[in-house]
């Protein structure tokens, strides 16, 4: 592969011209001689073939972490990554993007450190998929107060780029319940928070959780808890709800 150092006359050249790209560096004329980039060439670049590998610093990998449910979990993960000198570009619930190859750091040590906080670094592909399904469902329910424009089956298929039948089967096999049952359980858990923690009216709770009506919410709530929402709120105000 041929290299040449960019000159002042090259300053107008743009990335990608003639199928090439630019990366920072110095030009090695031979095995024994290296030419440093001069001061005026601080922003100069080497030409390399576009088909070659990108520089190491732009390598990205995904880590999947189970039980991340809050901003505190994100803070813990960031702290552990920084303590292990692992560069990262984003830390989302259940998923972390790191700027290095997974084999370039002590995976087992990071896994052990995270486990001290109840977080599980997953290396099993099936567990990773289950957590992605779970996080996608939570995103759909928690992140928007607007009525979803897609059915849950279509939303998950698009989000995870998998057939819904495959996602539903593997979720049921691993978790022991259907995706729909998980969604109902999470909605009722959120409804409990809204009833006791925020004391919201039933109409607003139904709207936030995408129920078609208060009657629909009340019916599902009683089926799961054995109490209607008003009874649950009254018990909760007396601190006697299990």
pLDDT in tens, 113-125: 999 999 988 777 7
Half-sphere exposure of residue 216: CA atoms within 13 angstroms, side-chain side: 11
Quick one: pLDDT at residue 22? 38
Supply 154's token pair. Answer: 């279509």
Taking the C-alpha atoms of residue 109 and residue 113, their distance in angstroms, rounded to an integer, is 6
Residue 111's pLDDT band, with cuts at 50, 70 and 90, is confident
CA distance 70 to 67: 9
Q: pLDDT tens digits, residue range 21-63?
A: 333 444 333 344 443 433 323 233 333 333 344 444 457 788 8
Q: Cα(27)–Cα(6) distance, rounded to whole angstroms?
A: 9
- Looking at the predicted structure, is the pLDDT value of residue 14 above 80? no
Beta bridge partners of 35: 27
Q: pTM for this one?
A: 0.52
Distances from the Cα of 211 to the Cαs of 98, 204, 220, 221, 225, in angstroms?
38, 10, 10, 11, 17
pLDDT of residue 192: 92
Average pLDDT over residues 86-105: 85
Measured CA to CA, the distance from residue 189 to residue 194 in angstroms comes to 9
What domains can be seen in the chain, in order of their start residue?
A: 8-52 (no CATH), 57-123 (3.30.70.100), 129-237 (1.10.10.60)
List b or e across 125-141, with b for residues whose CB sees 16 or more CB atoms inside 10 angstroms.
Answer: eeebbbbbbbbbbbebb
């Amino acid at each position: 592969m041929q290299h040449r150092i960019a000159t002042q006359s090259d300053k107008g050249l743009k990335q990608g011209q003639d199928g090439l790209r630019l990366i920072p560096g110095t030009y090695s004329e031979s095995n024994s001689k290296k030419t440093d980039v001069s001061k005026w060439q601080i922003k100069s670049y080497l030409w390399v073939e576009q088909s070659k590998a990108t520089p190491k610093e732009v390598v990205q990998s995904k880590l999947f972490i189970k039980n991340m449910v809050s901003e505190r979990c994100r803070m813990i993960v960031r702290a552990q990554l920084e303590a292990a000198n692992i560069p990262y570009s984003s830390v989302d619930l259940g998923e972390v993007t790191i700027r290095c190859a997974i084999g370039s750091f002590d995976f087992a040590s990071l896994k052990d450190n995270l486990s001290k906080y109840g977080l599980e670094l997953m290396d099993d592909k099936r567990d990773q998929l289950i957590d992605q399904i779970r996080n996608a469902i939570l995103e759909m329910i928690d992140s928007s107060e607007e009525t979803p424009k897609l059915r849950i089956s279509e939303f998950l298929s698009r989000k995870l780029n998998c057939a819904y039948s495959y996602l539903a089967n593997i979720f049921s096999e691993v978790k022991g319940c259907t995706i729909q049952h998980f969604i109902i359980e999470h909605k009722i858990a959120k409804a409990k928070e809204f009833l006791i923690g925020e004391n919201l009216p039933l109409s607003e709770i139904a709207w936030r959780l995408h129920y078609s009506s208060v009657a629909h919410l009340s019916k599902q709530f009683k089926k799961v808890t054995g109490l209607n929402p008003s009874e649950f709120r009254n018990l909760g105000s007396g601190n006697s709800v299990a």
